[in-house]
Amino acid sequence: MAVANNLVKIIKEGQAQLQVPKTVFYNPIQEFNRDLSVLVLRTYLKHNIWHHKREERHVTSRGGMRILDALSASGLRAIRYAKELGEERSKVKGIVANDLSKAAVELIQQNIELNNLADFVTCKNADANQTMFESSASFDERFHVIDLDPFGTGAQFFDTAVRSIGEAGLLMVTCTDTAVLCGNASESCFARYGSMSMRGEFCHDAALRIILRSLEQHANVYGRYIKPLLSLSVDFYVRLFVQVFTQQAETKLSASKVSQVYLCKECKTHELQPLGTYEIKEDSTQASSENLAVKYKFKTPDVQVGDKCRICDGRFTIFGPIWNGPIHDVKFLELLKQELEISEPKNEFGTFRRIQGLIQLCIEELDVPLFLSATTMASILRMRLPRFKDFMSALVNAGYKVSISHTNQYGLKTNAPNTVVWDVFRQMAEQFRSQQDQSHPGSKKVKLQQTILMERIMSKPRERSYDFTYNAAIETESQKLSLLRFQMNPDKDWGPKSKPTTKT
């Protein structure tokens, strides 16, 4: 075969063996992505999270569900799924490894045979959208799990994926165009995802929410909606796991799950403006109804954001809209944690420690859109970054919850109003102002504009004084167990690698 002449080596990942030529895309840095995907899929099948009364009959009648690796390249994902599902493989009828490149499909077939999976994994040479669309013609042919792992954006596959996937199906999405999603080209982000992105400390959190909003919007067109199970921004890409359901009435809630973001140009504080809202109807009969269209009264919300920032009186810039709902399902994360612990003695995952730490970090992460950056706030107030246990204890002592973000170790997620968080920092700046000003490197060279901003914020009166006494409630399990939470770059010159060079 033509591909065989280009083979460079056989690699092993998980339980799969793989022939890897130069011309077909393979990135070893994404082993974490693939390990996690195997764990998620296994958990999804084992705990019957796929189970839905509308779909059970079709899944049972066709002898199990179908899985699609839509952009398979080398076939690695499909092969790992086939070999590492364990007992849950009995719930799967088969896996399709699809790719548009003829050379890639030829290689996939070789790898399928190398792993003795010809009776379970089939390859297809077609456009991913075409493969998904054709499967939607029959309930028995629908894919119940679709994995989208493109080079760059996956936006061009969203519409067909959410339309064609089976009820309560698992959609796994990777996007590597994080530069666009994080504000380097907001106009390109809008063209792809329907949202304006923006630079800032929370840009990776926002990137996840931009994609979730886009998936929800595409699903709504077909009377469907999404439920995020796990959403991660790691390394150079984002990886999201969502379920897709059908219920026309539920789509009426979608506007309330989306917000426009107002970001202060000066102090970088954000405010959210929901695009929709709803309330339970006063009529007791209607209020107890399971029909959402009957139970709720939907309306457009009042404007909640003023014309200037409450922290520094600065002007706002607008971006979004973004998803403002949960990006993780904590119950599902607990199941993932259990399954990971079961796998530990078998040494199944090469990235076990990282998966363990990240899952626990996501469990601890508060369900709060975006975050305030401790480094940005300290810089604006011309103070050294305070100890996290001090300002986190102050917030907890005041009756609020606080956590860090899995996307940024200096990101403060809290249910406290922004004014309260800034009050805590102002009090710390007041208490330690003299010594911090003296030891701040280059503090005398701070620009006049920055000095004015600092003085404007410091001049605002605090609502109250805060207690910085250490509170043990801020200690998390990931800290107590010294889990790997934020990994350094895994290799020299790591990243998304170059596009495959094979002609289709």
CATH of the domain at 376: 3.30.56.70
Are both 69 and 203 inside the same structural domain?
Answer: yes
Per the structure block, which two tokens stand in for 451? 């000095």
Q: Is residue 197 part of a domain?
A: yes
**Predicted pLDDT at 54:** 58
| Boundaries of domain holding 131 | 3-261
For the stretch 436-493, pLDDT in tens is 555 555 445 556 777 899 999 999 999 999 999 999 999 999 999 888 877 655 565 5
Q: How far apart are CA 66 and CA 503, in angstroms?
A: 29
* Sequence-ordered list of residues with C-beta below 8 angstroms from that of 267, at least 6 positions apart, any chain: 309, 311, 312, 314, 377, 380, 422, 453, 457
Q: Is residue 504 part of a domain?
A: no
Per the structure block, which two tokens stand in for 84? 């590492």
Q: Can you tell me whether residue 488 is helix, strand or coil? A: coil
Q: Can you tell me whether residue 273 is helix, strand or coil? A: strand
For the stretch 326-385, pLDDT in tens is 999 999 999 999 999 999 999 999 999 999 999 999 999 999 999 999 999 999 999 989
Q: Can you tell me whether residue 366 is helix, strand or coil? A: coil
Instruction: Evaluate whether 355 touches 34 at the Cβ level (below 8 Å).
Output: no
Confidence class for position 1, pLDDT limits 50, 70, 90? very low
Q: Is residue 213 part of a domain?
A: yes
Q: Is residue 501 part of a domain?
A: no
Q: Indicate the residue among 234, 261, 288 that finishes a domain.
A: 261
CATH of the domain at 241: 3.40.50.150
Q: Indicate the residue among 261, 294, 309 that finishes a domain.
A: 261
Q: How far apart are CA 352 and CA 350, in angstroms?
A: 6
Whether the per-residue pLDDT at 78 is higher than 90: the answer is yes
For the stretch 198-227, pLDDT in tens is 999 999 999 999 999 999 999 999 999 999
Whether the per-residue pLDDT at 504 is higher than 50: the answer is no
| Least confident interval from 203-207, 421-425, 426-430 | 426-430
Are both 235 and 90 inside the same structural domain?
Answer: yes
Are both 247 and 392 inside the same structural domain?
Answer: no
Amino acid at 397: N
Give the torsion through C-alpha atoms of 252, 253, 255, 261, to 10 deg: 180
Are both 22 and 158 inside the same structural domain?
Answer: yes
Task: Tell the burial category of 44 from Cβ atoms under 10 Å away from its Cβ (0-12, 13-18, 19+).
Answer: buried
Considering the chain, what percentage of its residues have pLDDT values greater than 70?
A: 87
Are both 249 and 393 inside the same structural domain?
Answer: no
- Buried b vs exposed e over 198-236: b needs ≥16 C-beta within 10 Å? bebbbbbbbbbbbbbbbbbbbbbebebbbbbbbbbbbbb
Strand-pair partners of 373: 411
Radius of gyration of the chain (CA): 25
In this prediction, residues 308-331 reach a mean pLDDT of: 97
Q: Is residue 316 part of a domain?
A: no
Q: How far apart are CA 489 and CA 466, in angstroms?
A: 38
Task: Tell the burial category of 249 from Cβ atoms under 10 Å away from its Cβ (0-12, 13-18, 19+).
Answer: middle
**Predicted pLDDT at 269:** 97
β 402-405/408-414 pair status: antiparallel
Q: Indicate the residue among 261, 294, 322 that finishes a domain.
A: 261
- Buried b vs exposed e over 394-424: b needs ≥16 C-beta within 10 Å? bbbbbebbbbbbbbbebbbbbebebebbbbb
Whether the per-residue pLDDT at 135 is higher than 50: the answer is yes
DSSP code, position 196: B
In this prediction, residues 150-162 reach a mean pLDDT of: 97
**Predicted pLDDT at 503:** 47
Instruction: Evaluate whether 466 touches 386 at the Cβ level (below 8 Å).
Output: no
Confidence class for position 49, pLDDT limits 50, 70, 90? confident
In this prediction, residues 156-178 reach a mean pLDDT of: 98
Q: Within a 13 Å sphere around the CA of 24, how many CA atoms are in the beta-carbon half?
A: 29
Alpha helices in 225-267 (DSSP H): none
111 phi, psi to nearest 5 deg: -70, -35
In this prediction, residues 8-33 reach a mean pLDDT of: 83
Q: Is residue 479 part of a domain?
A: no
| Structural domains in the chain (count) | 2
Per the structure block, which two tokens stand in for 261? 């973001």
pTM: 0.92
498 phi, psi to nearest 5 deg: -85, 160
Q: Pick the residue with more confidence: 314 or 446? A: 314
20 phi, psi to nearest 5 deg: -120, 110
**Predicted pLDDT at 414:** 98
For the stretch 278-304, pLDDT in tens is 888 776 566 556 677 667 778 888 888
Q: How far apart are CA 27 and CA 75, in angstroms?
A: 13
Whether the per-residue pLDDT at 251 is higher than 90: the answer is yes
In this prediction, residues 37-56 reach a mean pLDDT of: 85
Per the structure block, which two tokens stand in for 247? 């219920």
Are both 93 and 216 inside the same structural domain?
Answer: yes
**Other C-beta atoms within 10 Å of 361: how many?**
25
**Predicted pLDDT at 6:** 53
Are both 252 and 376 inside the same structural domain?
Answer: no
Whether the per-residue pLDDT at 115 is higher than 90: the answer is yes
Q: Is residue 329 part of a domain?
A: no
Instruction: Give CA 442 to chain center in angstroms.
Output: 38
Q: Is residue 114 part of a domain?
A: yes
Instruction: Evaluate whether 212 touches 329 at the Cβ level (below 8 Å).
Output: no
